[in-house]
A and B are shown apart, each in its own frame.
Chain A
Amino acid sequence: MAVCGHCGQALSEAHPRCEQMLAMEPPRFCTHCGRRMKVQVTPREWAATCVEHGTVAG
């Protein structure tokens, strides 16, 4: 199951608004399982961690 990192809903179709928002904020939901992630934003970076699927960063 693919999940939208912005809204946490299934990606059965495109989420253009969410894609726009993801250019301006880190993902809040794990794209593998849909769990809410712990997100830390610093001035130059961000890191989002799912307890099951690990950390993504940007």
Chain B
Amino acid sequence: MTAAPTTPDLTEPAVLSRARTQVLENGEGLSYEDLVEVLRLPDEHVPALLGLAHDVRMRHCGPEVEVEGIISLKTGGCPEDCHFCSQSGQFTSPVRSVWLDIPQLVQAAKETAETGATEFCIVAAVRGPDERLMSQVRDGVKAIHDAVDINVACSLGMLTQEQVDELAAIGVHRYNHNLEAARSYFPSVVTTHSYEERWETCQMVRDAGMELCCGGLVGMGETLEQRAELASQLAELDPHEVPLNFLNPRPGTPFGDLSTMDAQDALRTIAAFRLAMPRTILRYAGGRELTLGDLGTREGLLGGVNAIIVGNYLTTLGRDPDEDLALLSELKMPIRELAKTL
């Protein structure tokens, strides 16, 4: 049977027509120039943009959603000055330094697994792990593996080659280290380490055989061009997973007085990231509740996102996990099973 010829939609912006062919049909991400165009699309074209991003996700990733829980093993007191972060010891943030013990860590992993999540990410607010932290991670990962059927990921800052090798050897299957911002905007966000240092850790992680999780934040005062630049640079790095955070302005931080990102801009950004990286796991991370409200979770999941963090974040609270899981059920998006992620 021959398919009926489709009538071109003459009202569709040219960049969406190009994306339909290049990304949806051929599976190739959009160029930086096209991503800038996507981010500049007027509001009336956002529904069509989200629809296309959803089609791309369904074709190249499928309907499954990867669910993850995150936990802060070491909170606060970080020597770095990431301007968005309430855990930096350089700002007058109210967040105090605190360590989680191993039994609490295992309990949190159990509770995460009970939601159906397949990923549990252990996070520490540090420049990079010292021996005390590595020892805690070593013991924690083993205790979780012994007690809970869940993949363990880590986010411990910049690593040495020796630390990369050890984390891979103890069974950490994925490592998170975000670029945070576009290369051109990075010096306005962090001054205590460089974009290149972050890139180097990401490369070492992948070379060691761990899955790389690498994303960033938007809504930090960057231009649309810099948002497109971040998406392009992530596409070049080609991580297994990209967590997309929206700035949640934290009291006491240099970005504490910035406004919350416009919801339509946030949705455009989600779609642009999907059109830049058609096959990656694109995860809704921090700030979605504040930026997009309850409805935003649905719109994002129908606009290119195929992974969520359930429950609370590191220092702030998330949606009730049961609400997110009910939404996935309603949207007929099954939770990715553990066996498929191993």
Which residues of A line the B interface, CB within 8 A?
7-8, 23-26, 28-29, 36-46
A44 & B94 in contact (Cβ 8 Å cutoff): no
6 contacts between A and B (CB under 8 A): A7-B251, A24-B316, A28-B96, A39-B315, A41-B313, A43-B69
Known: A36-B94, A39-B95. A44 touches B313 (CB 8 A): no
Q: Dominant SS at the A interface?
A: loop
Q: What is the number of residues of chain B that contact chain A, defined by CB distance less than 8 Å?
A: 29
A36 to B314, CA, bound (A): 17
Q: Which residues of B contact A29 (CB under 8 A)?
A: 94
Verify if B111 is at the interface (C-beta below 8 Å from A): yes
Which residues of B line the A interface, CB within 8 A?
69-72, 75, 94-98, 100, 104, 107-108, 111-112, 115, 251, 289-290, 310-317, 321
A24 & B98 in contact (Cβ 8 Å cutoff): no
A24 to B315, CA, bound (A): 10
A24 & B317 in contact (Cβ 8 Å cutoff): yes
B98 & A39 in contact (Cβ 8 Å cutoff): yes
A37 & B311 in contact (Cβ 8 Å cutoff): no
A43 & B317 in contact (Cβ 8 Å cutoff): no
A28 to B314, CA, bound (A): 14
A42 to B70, CA, bound (A): 8
A46 & B312 in contact (Cβ 8 Å cutoff): yes
A25 to B310, CA, bound (A): 15
B98 & A38 in contact (Cβ 8 Å cutoff): yes
Interface core residue of A7, A24, A28, A42 (most chain B CB under 10 Å) = A42
B289 & A24 in contact (Cβ 8 Å cutoff): yes
